[in-house]
């Protein structure tokens, strides 16, 4: 292979730079109307009355849809099928479950008319007491029935007894706040009915999932729904589910008898389309004098909505990170009158690694060990929970390479020992991890008479470079240049693939592309060796190779012919194959599959004002084979940047009286900008995990955020001697903190 692994630029880049890429909100249809979603202003209660008279009479208004006149649905919208199908508010009753819940839809000839009319709605409520205080609600914490992956509670050995007898112990509580996805593109849906058939242009991470979900909600056959999402302006988890606005747009379009476009406003991205829930995590560690772990306890409390369970599985990674004979992990939920949380980049691993990796740093201090040495002494060569071997793991190499590039051996372990002028300098490190996930997927490949190829799959490119790597895999299998492969995705009519989430698209879809390409290659070779006019006639099919657009006999470069010549003699018809690839159950039974990384961070802290600057982050990853070196590095850079935001700036503030998010905009919900990011040094260890899949590649979209907040928090402690266990680490916390 020559294309796979190369640092090719993204094939969708030119269209995006030129403005030719069309996102869901860019599409239009004849007679299209515009919808505005109206949200509740109380956190709990009932709608007594919605006065629609003024709004309905406003200029250009086509429809005002409320619970009083909305179409009755085949399936209860509050019925959810985890993990991706959600309980949603589709105007089927008068109940208000959270502030920001959709309670009406105003449709008009123009967006401005719809916005103006929406302000004319008068809503009367019967408010009821709302649960909005995380701490106050903890008394009602309960164990959820299930997690998206794994059981809520898991343990082995006797953690309590081992902890009690440990020579070195540490216990502390770490908290993370509500965080909100803010992709550049907000959620958007255009719904177009043609008789009983529905076409949706939707900003989604899962066109197949939207199709299935809406079929159930609306009570129509999936074959009657066509979902399109060729380009997505960022997803990060929030676009992995079909939220209320998707079905509402379809319902309004049906009732108005014309296409309806609904684009959420930036403030509407806070609440009705998911978020990362707050967590409170208590970690207790026990070790022998030499630093070997003898006990780990990790207990997590997170919040969910009052109408659906969704759990931030923060303790799951603790079950496989370090070798330890006695481990106990638990998850509990509390119900709040907020919208339901959802997957947000590295759900569980991002928050859980913060708590676990900070706790290890604190244990290292008590044990008198270097933080890196402590991790090496507790290195897990196999999965501690299941006992399975890892399909591949090169974390030791990651530690060594990243530590050397960072200069970790020069670290003075004493807090407040390093300065640069008036700035306090701190160095911290942490381990990164994320599970390697894979599901079944299918792909179609068409080899055209001119020697170009077309690949089709109903997967999505959420900004990760899926278009490009699919072309690279197909190109190598067919022996042509990647530029001669056209990729079409984001269409529910194409061969099925799962949601683009869980860092599994590359590992899931490319094996299907490879299988389809190999099937077409076999057909092409068969045509040549069975054609008496071919120079390859009667050659062994196994001896024929495809390279540079030619079929040649291996080892005899003079004997061969170009692909178009073979197809021309066969009637000039394209060759086509649709193939499915799925995980091997035998492999799943025998191996644990994860990706790994080592993250080192340097911060500078202003001792008077508590300002934290991340000067540099050095990270090295064990993620299997790189399908594209450039897009792989880009994904890791983006994840690290998000980790900086998680560590230092990101937090949604909920008013405990109204339940409204107070900073529901990008002016007050702070994300990192270029000036906040120092030097980023990302490398990979060579690896080829063919045990996991035929291409040897594992997903990398989410591992980049894991470990980064902990590395920064550990560096802040090293700089200041102050241990901040409550994210984000803002100046007020440092100014008011005492030494740990």
Q: Candidates 2.40.440.10, 3.30.365.10, 3.40.50.300, 3.40.50.10490; correct CATH number of 279-437+589-736?
A: 3.30.365.10
- How much of the chain, in percent, has pLDDT values that exceed 70? 99
User: Which pLDDT score, from 0 to 100, does residue 686 have?
Assistant: 97
The three-point CA angle 531-536-541 to 5° equals 90
pLDDT 10s digits, 388-432: 999 999 999 999 999 999 999 999 999 999 999 999 999 999 999
Q: Are 605 and 716 in contact (CB under 8 A)?
A: yes
Give the start-to-end residue ranges of the domains of the chain: 24-129+181-269, 279-437+589-736, 439-582
Owner of token pair 């509050």:
78
| Cβ atoms of 375 and 714 closer than 8 Å | no
Q: What is the dotted CATH code of the domain comprising 439-582?
A: 3.30.365.10
CA distance to 48, 93, 304, 328, per residue, from 45 (Å): 9, 12, 18, 39
Q: Is the pLDDT assigned to residue 740 strictly greater than 60?
A: no
- Paired with 271 in beta bridges are 274
pTM recorded for the entire structure? 0.97
The predicted structure's pLDDT at residue 738: 59
Instruction: Report pLDDT for 149.
Output: 82
pLDDT band at 85 (very low <50, low <70, confident <90, very high): confident
Tokens representing 137? 């609600």
3-state SS, 439-467, equals CCEEEEEEECCCCCEEEECCCCCCCCCHH
Q: Is residue 252 within 8 Å of residue 105, measured between CB atoms?
A: yes
Confidence (pLDDT) at 427: 98
Q: Is the fold of 24-129+181-269 the same as that of 439-582?
A: yes
pLDDT band at residue 80 using 50, 70 and 90 as cut-offs: confident
**Token duo for residue 458:** 């109903």
pLDDT given for residue 736 in this prediction: 74
pLDDT band at 74 (very low <50, low <70, confident <90, very high): confident
Beta bridge partners of 682: 619
The yes-or-no answer on residue 483 being catalytic is no
pLDDT at 558: 87
Contacts of 90 by beta carbon, 8 Å cutoff, 6+ apart: 70, 73, 77, 102, 217, 244, 247, 248, 251
Per-residue pLDDT tens digits for 681-725: 999 999 999 999 999 999 999 999 999 999 999 999 999 999 999
Average pLDDT, the chain: 97
Asked whether the predicted pLDDT for residue 25 surpasses 90, the reply is: yes
User: What pLDDT does 82 receive?
Assistant: 63
Reduced 3-state DSSP string for 264-316: CCHHHHCECCECECCEEEEEEEEECCCCCEEEEEEEEEEEEECCCCCCCCCCH
Residue 459 to residues 309, 329, 512, 680, 694, Cα–Cα distance (Å): 27, 35, 11, 30, 19
Q: What is the per-residue pLDDT for 148?
A: 84
Per-residue pLDDT at 604: 98
pLDDT tens for 200-251 read 999 999 999 999 999 999 999 999 999 999 999 999 999 999 999 999 999 9
Write out the CATH class of domain 24-129+181-269. Answer: alpha beta
* Arithmetic mean of pLDDT, 633-642: 98
pLDDT in tens, 562-581: 999 999 999 999 999 999 99
Residues 490-505, mean pLDDT to the nearest whole number: 97
pLDDT of 116-148, one tens digit each?
Answer: 999 999 999 999 999 999 999 999 999 999 998
Strand 423-435, strand 418-420: pairing: antiparallel
Q: What are phi and psi of 162, to 5 degrees?
A: -65, -35
| Location of structure tokens 């269409």 | 491
Q: 531, exposed or middle or buried, with CB in 10 Å at 0-12, 13-18, 19+?
A: middle
**Stretch 733-740: mean pLDDT:** 75
Q: What's the mean pLDDT in 53-72?
A: 98
Residue 465 dihedral angles phi and psi, to the nearest 5°: 100, 25
């Amino acid at each position: 292979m020559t294309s796979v692994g190369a640092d090719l630029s993204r094939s969708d880049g030119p269209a995006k730079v030129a403005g030719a890429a069309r996102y869901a909100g860019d599409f239009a249809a004849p007679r299209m109307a515009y919808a505005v979603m109206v949200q509740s202003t109380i956190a709990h209660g009932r709608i007594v009355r919605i006065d629609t008279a003024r709004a309905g009479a406003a200029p250009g208004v086509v429809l005002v849809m409320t619970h009083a006149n909305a179409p009755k649905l085949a399936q209860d919208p509050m019925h959810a099928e985890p993990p991706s199908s959600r309980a949603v508010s589709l105007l089927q009753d008068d109940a208000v479950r959270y502030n920001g819940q959709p309670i009406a839809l105003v449709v008009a000839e123009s967006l401005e008319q719809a916005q103006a009319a929406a302000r004319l709605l008068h809503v009367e409520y019967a408010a009821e007491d709302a649960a909005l205080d995380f701490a106050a609600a903890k008394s009602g914490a309960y164990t959820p029935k299930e997690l998206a992956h794994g059981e809520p509670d898991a343990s082995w050995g006797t953690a309590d007894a081992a902890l009690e007898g440990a020579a070195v112990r540490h216990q502390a509580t770490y908290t993370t706040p509500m965080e909100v996805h803010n992709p550049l593109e907000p959620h958007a849906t255009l719904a177009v009915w043609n008789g009983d058939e529905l076409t949706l242009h939707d900003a989604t991470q899962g066109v197949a999932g939207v199709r299935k979900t809406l079929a159930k909600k609306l009570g129509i056959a999936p074959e009657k729904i066509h979902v399109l999402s060729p380009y997505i302006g960022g997803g990060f988890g929030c676009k992995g589910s079909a939220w209320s606005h998707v079905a509402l747009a379809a319902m309004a379009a049906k009732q108005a008898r014309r296409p309806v476009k609904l684009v959420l406003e930036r403030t509407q991205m806070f609440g009705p389309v998911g978020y990362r829930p707050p967590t409170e995590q208590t970690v207790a560690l026990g070790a022998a004098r030499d630093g070997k772990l003898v006990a780990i306890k990790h207990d997590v409390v997170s919040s969910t909505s009052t109408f659906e369970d969704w759990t931030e599985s923060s303790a799951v990674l603790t079950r496989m990170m370090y070798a330890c004979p006695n481990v106990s992990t638990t998850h509990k939920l509390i119900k709040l009158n907020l919208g339901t949380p959802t997957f947000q980049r590295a759900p569980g691993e991002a928050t859980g690694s913060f708590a676990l990796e900070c706790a290890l740093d604190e244990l290292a201090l008590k044990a008198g060990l270097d933080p890196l040495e402590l991790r090496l002494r507790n290195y897990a060569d196999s999965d501690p929970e299941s006992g399975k071997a890892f399909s591949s793991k090169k974390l030791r190499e990651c530690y060594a390479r990243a530590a050397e590039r960072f200069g970790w051996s020069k670290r003075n372990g004493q807090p407040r020992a390093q300065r640069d002028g008036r700035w306090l300098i701190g160095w911290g490190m942490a381990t990164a991890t994320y599970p390697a996930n894979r599901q079944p997927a299918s792909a179609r490949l068409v080899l055209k008479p001119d020697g170009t190829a077309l690949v089709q799959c109903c997967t999505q490119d959420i900004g990760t470079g899926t278009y490009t790597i699919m072309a690279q895999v197909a190109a190598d299998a067919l022996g042509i240049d990647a530029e001669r492969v056209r990729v079409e995705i984001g269409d529910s009519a194409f061969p099925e693939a799962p949601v683009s989430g869980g860092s599994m698209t590359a590992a899931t879809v490319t094996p299907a592309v490879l299988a389809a390409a190999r099937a077409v290659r076999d057909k092409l070779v068969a045509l040549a060796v069975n054609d008496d006019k071919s120079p390859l006639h009667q050659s062994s099919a196994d001896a024929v190779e495809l390279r540079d657009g030619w079929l040649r006999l291996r080892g005899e470069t003079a004997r061969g012919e170009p692909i178009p010549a073979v197809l021309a003699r066969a009637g000039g018809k394209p060759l086509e194959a649709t193939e499915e690839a799925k995980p091997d159950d035998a492999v799943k039974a025998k191996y644990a599959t994860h990706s790994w990384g080592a993250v080192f961070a340097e911060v500078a802290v202003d001792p008077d004002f508590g300002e934290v600057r991340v000067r540099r982050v050095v990270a090295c990853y064990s993620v299997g084979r790189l399908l594209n070196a450039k897009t792989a590095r880009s994904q890791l850079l983006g994840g690290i940047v998000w980790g900086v935001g998680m560590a230092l700036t990101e937090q949604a503030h909920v008013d405990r009286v109204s339940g409204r998010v107070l900073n529901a905009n990008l002016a007050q919900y702070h994300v990192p900008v270029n000036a906040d990011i120092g030097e980023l040094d990302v490398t990979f260890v060579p690896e080829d995990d063919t045990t996991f899949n035929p291409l040897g590649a594992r997903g990398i979209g989410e591992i980049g955020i894991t470990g980064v907040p902990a590395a920064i928090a550990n560096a802040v402690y090293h700089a200041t001697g102050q241990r901040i266990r409550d994210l984000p680490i803002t100046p007020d916390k440092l100014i008011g903190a005492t030494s740990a």
